[in-house]
């Protein structure tokens, strides 16, 4: 499953170069862009409360990680399965990418760019922290327990779904995606793949990075940000020169 997550991150990263036509690529690296994103994040309690609570809870539950892990193994309250959790995690990441791809075909690649960048950055941060922290897994299978990449990936995908539904349809139904994302975390705990602290911080990391990337790209009205008001890069479908079919291509603007 780790290979699938790495592959998903690489695929997302390759899509992240699909910057919109008319948008200034340097905006991705401008301090003002991320300062504005951080201010938006901090001013919207629906964005920061959950990752803040989970981050604060992480060192607290870390102190009881082994006891919690043993209890989850003996009680198995949710009867969760890591294989189901793996599939759900991948699905939560794929859904916003597919939606973004459909939008790109119609000429608006903004969702595809935001989704791919969010997932790629989330995975990069997760695996960087794994190497730095070097925490042993509950089942002793490795030294890469903290944080849970499955959980961070699932919560990044859930956050993308929630934000896109809110932007496009103006309602909060997308936040229900956090329910299957939570199942992913529980399955990692009961499957003895991660401690609770790994899961709480993984969830916080996925939500934090995704919200910041989203806020950097979109203003409150769903426009502006890095994108400006141009609806740039797109998938192009044209007849072939010899008239024997069609040519499908992606117009990338860097």
In tens, the pLDDT along 99-145 reads: 999 998 988 888 999 999 999 999 999 999 999 999 999 999 999 99
Instruction: Report the chain's mean pLDDT, rounded to a whole number.
Output: 83
Asked if residues 8 and 152 have their Cβ atoms less than 8 Å apart, the reply is no
- Cα within 13 Å of Cα(97), Cβ side: 21
Pair of tokens at residue 57: 């809870």
Residue 130: predicted pLDDT: 97
Give the domain ranges of the chain.
2-220+233-251
Number of Cβ within a 10 Å radius of residue 67: 11
pLDDT at 102: 92
Rounded Cα–Cα distance for residues 120 and 226 (Å): 18
Which one is predicted more confidently, 179 or 16?
A: 179
Contacts of 62 (CB under 8 A, 6+ apart): 195, 197
Percent of the chain's residues with pLDDT above 70: 74
Q: What does the pLDDT look like over 18-72, one tens digit per residue?
A: 444 444 555 676 778 888 889 999 999 999 999 999 999 999 999 999 999 888 8
pTM over 0.75: yes
Residue 80: the pLDDT is 78
Alpha helices in 24-176 (DSSP H): 31-43, 45-62, 65-75, 82-105, 110-133, 149-169
Distances (CA, A) of 36 to 8, 113, 139, 207: 29, 19, 42, 17
- Is the sign of the CA dihedral 60, 71, 180, 115 positive or negative? positive
Residue range 220-233: average pLDDT?
53
Structure confidence at residue 220 (pLDDT): 65
pLDDT of res. 60: 96
The rounded percent of the chain whose pLDDT value lies above 90 is 59
Amino acid 250: pLDDT: 46
């Amino acid at each position: 499953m780790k290979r699938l997550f790495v592959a998903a991150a690489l695929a997302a990263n390759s899509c992240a170069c699909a910057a919109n036509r008319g948008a200034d690529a340097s905006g991705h690296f401008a301090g003002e862009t991320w300062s504005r994103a951080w201010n938006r994040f901090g001013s919207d309690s629906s964005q920061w409360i959950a990752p803040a609570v989970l981050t604060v809870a992480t060192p607290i539950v870390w102190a009881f990680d082994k006891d919690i892990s043993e209890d989850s193994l003996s009680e198995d309250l949710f009867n969760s399965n890591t294989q189901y959790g793996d599939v759900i995690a991948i699905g939560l990441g794929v859904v916003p990418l597919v939606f973004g791809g459909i939008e790109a075909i119609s000429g608006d690649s903004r969702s595809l760019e935001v989704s791919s960048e969010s997932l790629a950055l989330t995975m990069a941060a997760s695996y960087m922290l794994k190497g730095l922290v070097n925490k042993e897994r509950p089942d002793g299978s490795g030294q890469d327990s903290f944080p849970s990449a499955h959980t961070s990936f699932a919560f990044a995908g859930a956050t993308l779904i929630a934000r896109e539904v809110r932007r496009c349809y103006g309602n909060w139904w997308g936040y229900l995606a956090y329910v299957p994302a939570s199942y992913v975390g529980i399955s990692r705990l009961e499957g003895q793949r991660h401690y609770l602290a790994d899961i709480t911080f993984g969830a916080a990391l996925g939500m934090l990075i995704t919200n910041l990337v989203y806020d950097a790209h979109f203003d409150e009205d769903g426009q502006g940000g890095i994108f400006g008001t141009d609806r740039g890069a797109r998938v192009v479908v044209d007849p072939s020169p010899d008239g024997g079919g069609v040519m499908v291509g992606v117009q990338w603007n860097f």
